[in-house]
Amino acid sequence: MKKIFLSIAVVSFLAGCKNDSFLDIPVEGQTEESAFFKTQDDALKATNAIYSFLRGWENSAFPYQFIFGVPADDVIKGSNPGDASFINAYDQFTYTASDGGVEGYWTGQWQAVSRSNQVITRVPEINMDATMKGRLIAEAKFLRAYFYFNLVRIYGGVPIFDGLQENYNKPRNTQDEVYNFIISDLLSASQALPDKYGASDLGRATKGAALGLLSKVYLYKKDWQKAYDTSNQVMAMGYSLDPDFNHLFRVKGEFGPESVFEVDCACTAQYSGSQYAEVQGVRNQFGWGFFTPSPGLENAFEQGDIRKQFTILREGQTTPEGDLIKKGDPLAVDTYNYKAYVPKADQNATCAQGSVQNIRILRFAEILLINAEAANELGNTGAAQASLNKVRNRAKLGDTTASSQAGLRTAIWHERRVELAMEGDRFVDLVRTGQAATVLASYGFKAGKNELFPIPFNAITQSQNVLTQNPGY
């Protein structure tokens, strides 16, 4: 999608919201909604506006890392102790319903849901090419499902908005109802999305992306048979592991054979890329130095695992691309997220440091691990070992020695930790597998409370207390 991120200052995304609605977000553009959604070009621009959110601050930079990264045992705040010290609340589970990060992530996801609902509701009314119309609606449904998946994993049951509403002050739906809504969107999207796109449209949702995310949703629901069957569908679609783990995360490895869904962060004179890599880049050289690997993560890698050297970037080392990682602030950390490293040769001076770095949301390696976990829970040891070993072998490790169901379960969970390290899955994995209360106890995690984040105080107030708070907050 290198050429299609348009400047969407055109749609009143929340027309009709009450002034006291918890979804009442300032209008981003100047064109009234009634004057928009008239042409195929309008439909494309509105859909691209959803994609543009994926690279935005709330979805991929600071608030995202507060929520999905720091609460886990693999990520620490980074930078130096006095820089953005408020982030420590997420490491120590002392954040509250009034915390800016809790509210920022919530507000951002709802803004994206609203953009999706505009397309899903308004595009059917446009006189345009039928195939294009169906595809854009399917893309919007896939993206809405992705945002709801983020919301339900972090906040639990949330209100379901299917289309444009007269009243946005709705009570929360249950977690099961939200998951079923997500599943419905992904099933619908998978039936209309193409298997692939041409070069100018890379980054748009595909059939494989919809089915891949669907298999992950089934994993969270512990619907093992559907997770297994759906991941098998994706495995039969032509994806493969990139044989070079370092190449996989570099700019030259974007949209490779392992990419099931990734966010295009192209930086041009017109578009500003993303700050995903900048906030994590080497301090005083490539970025700000936040969200860095913990000693616990470093110790989790087996001897000989090549992923360790391409997950943890160290001061003083020279990368394969020829960059000497210099010493930065003497008070700062000395290791960084290698996966967010953008070599000097690939930097684009038009935009911020590292802004060209694509964000990998779903990789084929995770599809294999979903398949392995589901197969193991179904008692299919051979299939579980086969999928797990493909991931291990790419890391230059031998086949797993685990053979019992319990042993394989532990091995698969461990493999998710080291394969997906620094990619935002560790905390929610610990919660969904029931390990969080034990693994995170020393950080201050309280069972029955910290599995979910609080609903923001302002959201509850603006909803006139229609929204209810999660337990313990």
Residue 392: which residues within 8 A CB-CB, separation 6 or more?
Answer: 398, 399, 400, 415
Question: Cα angle at 238 between 346 and 5, to 5 degrees?
Answer: 40
**Total structural domains within the chain:** 1
Which pLDDT score is estimated for 272?
A: 72
What pLDDT is recorded for position 332? 74
- pLDDT for position 33: 60
Angstrom CA distances, 156 to 102, 159, 240, stand at 13, 10, 33
Question: Within a domain: residue 462?
Answer: yes
Residue 6 maps to which CATH number?
A: 1.25.40.390
Whose CA is closest to 291, among 312, 321, 316? 312
| Residue 291, φ and ψ in degrees, nearest 5 | 60, 75
- Burial of residue 351 (number of CB atoms within 10 Å: 0-12, 13-18, 19+): buried
Q: Give the pLDDT score at 28.
A: 43
Residue 393: enclosing H or E segment and its boundaries? Answer: helix 381-394
pLDDT in tens, the chain (473 residues): 433 332 333 333 333 233 334 443 333 444 556 679 999 999 999 999 999 999 988 888 888 998 999 999 999 999 999 999 999 999 999 999 999 999 999 999 999 999 999 999 999 999 999 999 999 999 999 999 999 999 999 999 999 999 887 677 899 999 999 999 999 999 999 999 999 999 999 999 999 999 999 999 999 999 999 999 999 999 999 999 999 999 999 999 999 999 999 999 988 665 677 999 999 999 989 999 999 999 999 999 999 999 999 999 999 999 999 999 988 677 778 999 999 999 999 998 888 888 899 999 999 999 999 999 999 999 999 999 999 999 999 999 999 999 999 999 999 999 999 999 999 999 999 999 999 999 999 999 999 999 999 999 999 999 999 999 999 99
Assigned domain for 472 exists: no
Residue 47: inside a domain, yes or no?
Answer: yes
Enter the tokens of residue 133: 């119309």
Which residue pairs, CB below 8 angstroms and at least 24 apart, start in 171-177?
Answer: 171/466, 171/467, 171/468, 172/467, 172/468
Residues forming a β-bridge with 314: 335
Q: Quick check: is 190 in a domain?
A: no
CA atoms of 157 and 29, how far apart (whole Å): 31
For 469, which DSSP code? P
**Predicted pLDDT at 456:** 97
Query: What are the distances in angstroms from CA 76 to CA 88, 336, 372, 416?
Result: 8, 10, 29, 19
Strands of 7-96 (E only): list them.
75-78
pLDDT recorded at residue 329: 73
**362: in domain:** no
Largest separation between any pair of C-alpha atoms in the chain? 63
Is residue 308 domain-resident? no
Q: Is residue 369 part of a domain?
A: no
Structural domain of 34: 1-181+445-467
Cα–Cα dist 291/298, whole Å: 14
237 contact partners, CB below 8 Å, separation of at least 6: 195, 207, 208, 211
Residue with tokens 């449904």: 141
At 133 the pLDDT is 98
Q: What is the pLDDT of residue 416?
A: 98
| CA dihedral sign of residues 338, 343, 346, 347 | positive
Contacts of 177 (CB under 8 A, 6+ apart): 157, 160
Q: What is the pLDDT at residue 266?
A: 86
Three-state SS at 403: coil
Cα separation, 73 vs 187, in Å, equals: 34
Contacts of 429 (CB under 8 A, 6+ apart): 413, 416, 417, 435
Residue 316 lies inside a defined structural domain of this protein:
no
CA 350 – CA 348 distance, rounded (Å): 5
pLDDT score, position 267: 80
